[in-house]
């Protein structure tokens, strides 16, 4: 695998190599969040004198993500790195590149290294900050259901073997577009998906 990577080695101008970042951070409104983020970053590289910095992570994987595919775990990792590195260097990283390298040689001679790039936008960063706040609320014992309005929020698992990508799409729709889920609406969805006569969906 190392040989494959070295054979297709990209050109980077490193600023930091295998550096650990642990710190609190500010969100897009400069509000400080006290629970620190910890990142061990493979590479922080220069994009040139006027183009800021980029983050690079190496992934040795048998399942390569194409750029057109959603990659929620990459997105979550990228945003955590963005916030920690922004705090350390005082600049906004432009993007994060995941250098995906397959461990077995491609028979068709196609490149072993397939980069997947996440360009940071307010929309993507807002998803991470929303997820962070929900995790903090859950750990603090605060309910994720508003007892007055019945509006529910979720902590999704995008890496779940079944329904992970669907739950991530639901989460993105909720955060990006302001969609709200209520207990009654969710109960209706579960009843329609159950489809087995005589079987009651779980009571919420």
Tens digits of per-residue pLDDT, 83-127? 999 999 999 999 999 999 988 888 888 888 999 999 999 999 999
For residue 145, give the 3-state DSSP assignment.
strand
**Tokens found for residue 118:** 């996440």
- 161 by Cβ neighbours in 10 Å (0-12 / 13-18 / 19+) ranks as exposed
Greatest Cα pair distance, the chain, in angstroms, is 67
pLDDT band at residue 49 under the 50/70/90 scheme = low
- 21 by Cβ neighbours in 10 Å (0-12 / 13-18 / 19+) ranks as buried
Q: Which domains does the chain have, with CATH numbers?
A: 2-142 (3.90.320.10), 143-196 (no CATH)
> Locate tokens 């990792």: which residue?
77
Query: Which value, to the nearest 10 degrees, does the dihedral of the CA atoms of residues 168, 170, 176, 180 take?
Result: -140
pTM (2 d.p.): 0.83
167-199 pLDDT per residue, tens = 888 889 889 998 887 777 766 766 665 555 555
Cα(6)–Cα(9) distance, rounded to whole angstroms? Answer: 5
Cα(21)–Cα(23) distance, rounded to whole angstroms? Answer: 7
Q: Looking at residue 117, what is its pLDDT?
A: 96
| Lowest mean pLDDT across 24-28, 76-80, 158-162, 167-171 | 158-162
């Amino acid at each position: 695998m190392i040989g494959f990577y070295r054979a297709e080695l990209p050109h980077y101008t490193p600023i930091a190599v295998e550096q650990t970042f642990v710190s609190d951070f500010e969100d897009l409104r400069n509000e400080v969040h006290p629970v620190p983020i910890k990142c061990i970053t493979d590479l922080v590289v220069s994009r040139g004198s006027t183009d800021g910095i980029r983050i690079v992570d190496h992934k040795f994987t048998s399942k390569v993500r194409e750029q057109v595919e959603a990659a929620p775990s990459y997105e979550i990792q990228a945003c955590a790195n963005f916030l920690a590195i922004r705090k350390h260097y005082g600049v906004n990283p432009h993007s994060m590149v995941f250098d995906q390298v397959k461990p077995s040689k491609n028979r068709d001679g196609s490149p072993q290294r397939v980069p997947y790039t996440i360009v940071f936008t307010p929309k993507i960063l807002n998803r991470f900050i929303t997820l962070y706040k929900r995790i903090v609320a859950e750990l603090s014992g605060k309910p994720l259901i508003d007892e007055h309005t019945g509006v529910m929020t979720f902590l999704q698992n995008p890496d779940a073997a079944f329904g992970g990508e669907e739950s991530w799409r639901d989460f993105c729709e909720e955060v990006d577009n302001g969609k709200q889920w209520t207990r009654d609406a969710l109960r209706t969805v579960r009843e329609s998906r159950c489809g087995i006569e005589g079987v009651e969906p779980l009571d919420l």
